[in-house]
């Protein structure tokens, strides 16, 4: 079994164990959040030994060649000496809370002002730090080119540590820290005529709201179809704004969808799961660009179905909102 060297100590990995699990089992605290190889909170660097390719998936090429990897999905294949990613890579940026307003019964819109210039693309995500070190990922719904403050859309989960804290305790004027931006789920100009399908559930609308407006701002001329799914009609939000966008742009179509269970209150929303409604309406996705955000099951299933319906894997961009598996209010981060 490979041995991991960290901070001059040797740690023996158990069979199939990740670097994060191994270090944690030995009482070493490493910052982490999603623990699914998505959020990059647990970014480390191999200074001896090569991390497996799976542990580098989604990292920039420049980071991959320097043997950066995500500890939560790194099952080492050889002995490695590892360090936490340096502050130059994982720079903590101060943000001030500018606003907090409801978008629905359990969804809040948060505005943040970075203390220094922050370069990002709408649809990427940031990792937001609570003062005690708890960290969670949130997608960016704002448009930098319009000089909008950073906008997050946060669903308050019953008992959710970060989201209930945001609802109950975080106030306008508070100073918090973020890291990022992270992710490749954003609009890439260059193929203005390509058709685009976006499917999101719940606050999976946050990145899509950014991506759609960015594409329209940049003069995208192909069809842009947005399917937003919710269990009940209460979970549909930004409906008026999306309808207004639809009226302003002939190539943009917005389809709110509500599950069978919420059919009685659905209003003019379509009944059915957003991914299934989208596939029924557009069964041939050859040459389409696809964005999928929100519930991890929907994202995984729809990714496969979009591929089977003809979309190229390189044209599918996905952000599964995986929930944190453990209490990670780690004090180890700096």
Shortest distance, CB of residue 134 to ligand FAD, whole angstroms? 7
What does the alpha-carbon distance between residue 294 and residue 209 come to, in Å, rounded to a whole number? Answer: 13
What are 133's two structure tokens? 């070190």
Applying CB under 6 A, which part among 53-61, 82-90, 239-247, 318-326 lies near ligand FAD? 318-326
> Per 3-state DSSP, what percentage of the chain is helix, strand, and coil (rounded to 5)?
25, 30, 45
Which of 155, 213, 228, 289 is in the footprint of ligand FAD by CB under 6 A? 155
Cβ-based nearer residue to ligand FAD, 160 or 222:
160
In contact, 126 and 179? CB cutoff 8 Å: yes
| Number of amino acids touching ligand FAD (CB under 6 A) | 23
HEC letters along 23-48 = HHHCCCCCCCCCCCCCCCCCEEEEEE
* Closest residue to ligand FAD, based on beta-carbon distance: 160
* Side-chain half-sphere CA neighbours of 282 within 13 A: 27
Chain residues 93-132 in contact with ligand FAD, contact rule CB under 6 A: 125
Applying CB under 6 A, which part among 33-41, 54-62, 98-106, 303-311 lies near ligand FAD? 33-41
Shortest distance, CB of residue 149 to ligand FAD, whole angstroms? 15
Applying CB under 6 A, which part among 50-58, 158-166, 173-181, 236-244 lies near ligand FAD? 158-166
The reply to whether 136 sits near ligand FAD by the rule CB under 6 A is yes
CA 37 to chain centre: 11
Which of 6, 68, 111, 138 is in the footprint of ligand FAD by CB under 6 A? 138
According to DSSP, residue 264 is labeled G
Which of 40, 203, 230, 330 is in the footprint of ligand FAD by CB under 6 A? 203
Q: Give the CA distances from residue 308 to residues 94, 227, 280, 286, 330, in Å, rounded to whole numbers and listed in that order.
A: 43, 19, 13, 9, 41
CB contact burial 182-197 (16+ within 10 A = b; e otherwise): bbebbbeeeeeebbbb
| Positions that interact with ligand FAD (CB under 6 A) | 34, 38-39, 125, 136-139, 153-155, 157, 160-163, 203, 206, 319, 321-324
């Amino acid at each position: 079994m490979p041995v991991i060297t960290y901070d001059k100590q040797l740690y023996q990995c158990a069979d199939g164990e990740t670097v994060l699990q191994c270090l944690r089992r030995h009482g070493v605290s490493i910052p982490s959040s999603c623990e699914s190889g998505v959020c990059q909170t647990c970014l480390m660097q191999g200074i001896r030994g090569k991390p497996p390719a799976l542990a580098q998936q989604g990292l920039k090429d420049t980071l991959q060649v320097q043997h950066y990897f995500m500890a939560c999905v790194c099952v080492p294949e050889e002995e490695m000496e590892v360090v936490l990613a340096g502050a130059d890579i994982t720079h903590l940026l101060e943000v001030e809370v500018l606003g907090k307003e409801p978008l629905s019964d359990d969804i809040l819109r948060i505005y943040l002002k970075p203390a220094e210039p922050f370069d990002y693309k709408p649809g990427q995500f940031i990792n937001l730090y609570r003062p005690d070190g708890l960290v969670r990922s949130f997608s960016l719904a704002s448009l930098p080119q319009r000089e909008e403050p950073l906008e997050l859309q946060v669903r308050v989960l019953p008992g959710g540590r970060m989201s209930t804290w945001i609802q109950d305790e975080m106030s306008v004027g508070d100073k918090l820290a973020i890291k990022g931006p992270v992710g490749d789920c954003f609009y890439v100009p260059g193929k203005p005529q390509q058709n685009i399908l976006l499917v999101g559930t719940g606050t999976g609308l946050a990145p899509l709201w950014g991506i759609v407006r960015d594409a329209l701002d940049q003069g995208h001329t192909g069809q842009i179809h947005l399917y937003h799914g919710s269990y009940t009609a209460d979970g549909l939000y930004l409906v008026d704004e999306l309808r207004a966008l639809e009226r302003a742009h002939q190539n943009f179509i917005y389809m709110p969808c509500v599950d069978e269970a919420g059919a009685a209150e659905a209003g003019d929303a379509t009944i059915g799961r957003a991914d299934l409604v989208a596939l029924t309406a557009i069964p041939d996705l050859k040459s389409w660009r696809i964005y999928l955000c929100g519930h991890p099951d929907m994202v995984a299933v729809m990714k496969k179905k979009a591929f089977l319906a003809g979309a190229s894997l390189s044209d599918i961009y996905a952000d599964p909102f995986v929930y944190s598996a453990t209490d990670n209010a780690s004090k180890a981060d700096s």
